Structure 1
């Protein structure tokens, strides 16, 4: 039966794809044509498109340079112009409203980039028993854990140092643990690399790490941030308990049909009349690697039909819910309420949003975007392009990953190896 679902939607997808591509991407191409091989806007392989016989491919495109084409493609418009789009979009939407460089979304002081720094903060999944142990020697770290424990109502430091892992891995515990440990790593930098903190020109955080980044930038006080993280973790935990769901890392190739797989899996769940249904790309990590999230039934469907969708490798993540999907919408309202109660300041350091990679302009934007983040894809790959885009020969800033593990450094290596050469993990 599963194979019948794939075959039925495969036929529909091809018809919709041809109609969509000719109407929005290749309007200059005539229908009296011969095929040539190319890739669609998502970077995934699609059916052959068409050009007039005897004409070269180049003749059908504008005279923009490759750099201009990339800049025009790398905007962040989440809307689609047609209901015929049956697959999840790739990192860079098919149409851009403005012609501008990605670098314009990041701060670039007129000094040697090697004298500046970028700080990155990790999210869930980086926790381990014993984290923060080596950070207790630095000033204020123990006091930070004590203050957090008072607000949370349990001994956070004890859980970080001794576990058990089962408790530490729970969303309600690991989010505060990673948050405080990441800021403790900043205290290590303050002692050992003070100039790197003073010369910081931008910060970004992965999912939970975005709150850490905003706290570092002075948007929240430490105590208010702990309350925010507590509410976020509890709300996401409750949302994840409403429906069995999860997340899965997907490695894929140019011939894979990942977006199509998510669409078919979602339809499969809707056919089973599940009360809440979603399946989509939740994290854009690096080329040919994304994290999808959705109902357990949807993920199982994709696992069972892996070869039909030409997916390379699948790995379930040890998380309790489908974070950054519509299944997390119940968590939005509690976040909106807590943000009304705590003080929110304008960032003192540029902070890049997970939703679109752009820098938060003011406190109002933080209040608007941050609640939406829990049910929106984390556009990390796009954010890294915004931060690290450079002309050839221009050096990169120093980068520091503050928090447990070195997952963000490993991802950066897959996106921009040269930028990663200047990256250091300030671990725990």
Structure 2
């Protein structure tokens, strides 16, 4: 596959801006996120923290606290990228008037070997919802939306102090942060999607968002659902929490029979509502194990760079310190739960009276800003979905 030097240099202009921006160092030093966080007293903790009264915060290894008075947090930004399930037919249509966004889809077409933009704009939906197409579609649309953000709010990119992504979106965030080249990142996502699609086809499985209350027994429900499957000889029976979204809302992944069990017995465990997700696999569970090694091998062939801004891992919410850590941890993400609620607590942690950065969701849909509203309404009040 051949790319001209001009296209390669333009393939992700946002990263180049970050590399050249002298202001970035000061912003990172003053950021209220990343390694320079370690609340050591009640006054230094975010006042809506989920941790219990009297918790020992200094055991949470977020590094040393630094002076945050250099830059007003309101003059900085956090950029987030979504995962699979946010796709819809017609996404990216509003981005096509931007030449750089069109360039990204053209490069993606050469990398993937098919017209991704055509699928994004016209579907059909059943095709776009397939893992093998949905993941590249969401990633490229997310990155292309950065060009729209650059046009409307150029300072949002120049003052970005942290980024993160939900599952697939973590790779998108690493591309944005300059760790993974755009074209190689899209190829990596294609391999990830293909292997996860294969894993999904081996065992009938899926995911469901579950809303519950303080009197619910979600953990017991998952255990009973898995036991029910094992008793009936279902191969590789599984049922577990795969995504931690916000208080009293989790995503459970597992065998289709286990999800059916939860549907039929939700009243027994006092589950409020169960909503199936438009995915065809039990992502972030052991049922995806066969996808890990092919992804690891593909990742090992890419020359990664240390991130130029803080990138929070959705495995534990902490930031990637360097490229070596990305090589080690990113493959694990395929089978580990997404601890998004915990990530948001870490990313937005600050003292009670301190202001929050602006948050931008660069993506199809508004799933991440909706979750942020449930976790931290004050931070959500300055959140914007770029696609709208």
Tell me the TM-score range normalised by the shorter chain: 0.7 to 0.9
What is the aligned partner in structure 2 of residue 3 from structure 1?
none
Change (3 A) 1:109 1:175: farther
- Cα separation, 2, equivalents of 1:227 and 1:106: 38
Other structure's SS at 1:399 match: strand
- Cα separation, 2, equivalents of 1:239 and 1:181: 25
Work out whether residues 106 and 386 of structure 1, in 8 Å CA contact, stay in contact via their aligned partners in 2.
no
What is the aligned partner in structure 1 of residue 372 from structure 2?
412
- Cα separation, 2, equivalents of 1:109 and 1:346: 26
- Cα separation, 2, equivalents of 1:302 and 1:69: 35
Cα distance, 1:307 vs. partner?
1.3
Residue among 329, 336, 353 paired with 2:313: 353
Are 1:178 and 2:134 counterparts? no
Matches within 5 A, 1:143-182: 143-182=103-142
Work out whether residues 126 and 404 of structure 1, in 8 Å CA contact, stay in contact via their aligned partners in 2.
yes
Give the TM-score, by structure 1 length: 0.76
Change (3 A) 1:182 1:105: farther
Change (3 A) 1:217 1:69: closer
What is the aligned partner in structure 2 of residue 265 from structure 1?
225
Are 1:309 and 2:276 counterparts? no
Change (3 A) 1:175 1:139: same
- Cα separation, 2, equivalents of 1:370 and 1:384: 19
Cα deviation, 1:52-71, whole Å, max 9, x if unaligned, reads: xxxxxxxxxxxx96988999
**Would you say how many aligned residue pairs link Structure 1 and Structure 2?**
346
- Cα separation, 1, equivalents of 2:65 and 2:131: 32
Work out whether residues 45 and 351 of structure 2, in 8 Å CA contact, stay in contact via their aligned partners in 1.
no
What is the alpha-carbon root mean square deviation over aligned residues?
A: 2.5
- Cα separation, 1, equivalents of 2:220 and 2:65: 31
Work out whether residues 171 and 320 of structure 1, in 8 Å CA contact, stay in contact via their aligned partners in 2.
yes
Cα deviation, 1:42-95, whole Å, max 9, x if unaligned, reads: xxxxxxxxxxxxxxxxxxxxxx96988999985xxxxxxxxxxxxxxxxx9xx9
Question: Between Structure 1 and Structure 2, whose CA radius of gyration is higher?
Answer: 1
Change (3 A) 1:107 1:321: farther
Matches within 5 A, 1:28-427: 99-100=59-60, 110-427=70-387
Other structure's SS at 2:59 match: coil
- Cα separation, 2, equivalents of 1:315 and 1:129: 20
Cα distance, 1:101 vs. partner?
8.1
Cα distance, 1:272 vs. partner?
2.2
Work out whether residues 73 and 96 of structure 1, in 8 Å CA contact, stay in contact via their aligned partners in 2.
no
Cα distance, 1:198 vs. partner?
0.8
Work out whether residues 71 and 102 of structure 1, in 8 Å CA contact, stay in contact via their aligned partners in 2.
no
Other structure's SS at 1:154 match: coil
Other structure's SS at 1:270 match: helix
Work out whether residues 205 and 213 of structure 1, in 8 Å CA contact, stay in contact via their aligned partners in 2.
yes
Unaligned ranges ≥5, structure 2: 1-40
Cα distance, 1:196 vs. partner?
1.1
Other structure's SS at 2:251 match: strand
Cα distance, 1:96 vs. partner?
7.5
Higher RCO, 1 or 2 (CA under 8 Å, sep at least 6)? 2
- Cα separation, 1, equivalents of 2:49 and 2:147: 40
Cα deviation, 1:396-426, whole Å, max 9, x if unaligned, reads: 1010000111111111101111100110100
Change (3 A) 1:263 1:107: farther
Change (3 A) 1:223 1:109: farther
Change (3 A) 1:210 1:106: farther
Work out whether residues 250 and 315 of structure 1, in 8 Å CA contact, stay in contact via their aligned partners in 2.
yes
Cα deviation, 1:241-289, whole Å, max 9, x if unaligned, reads: 1111110110000010101111121122222232212211011111111
Change (3 A) 1:327 1:306: same
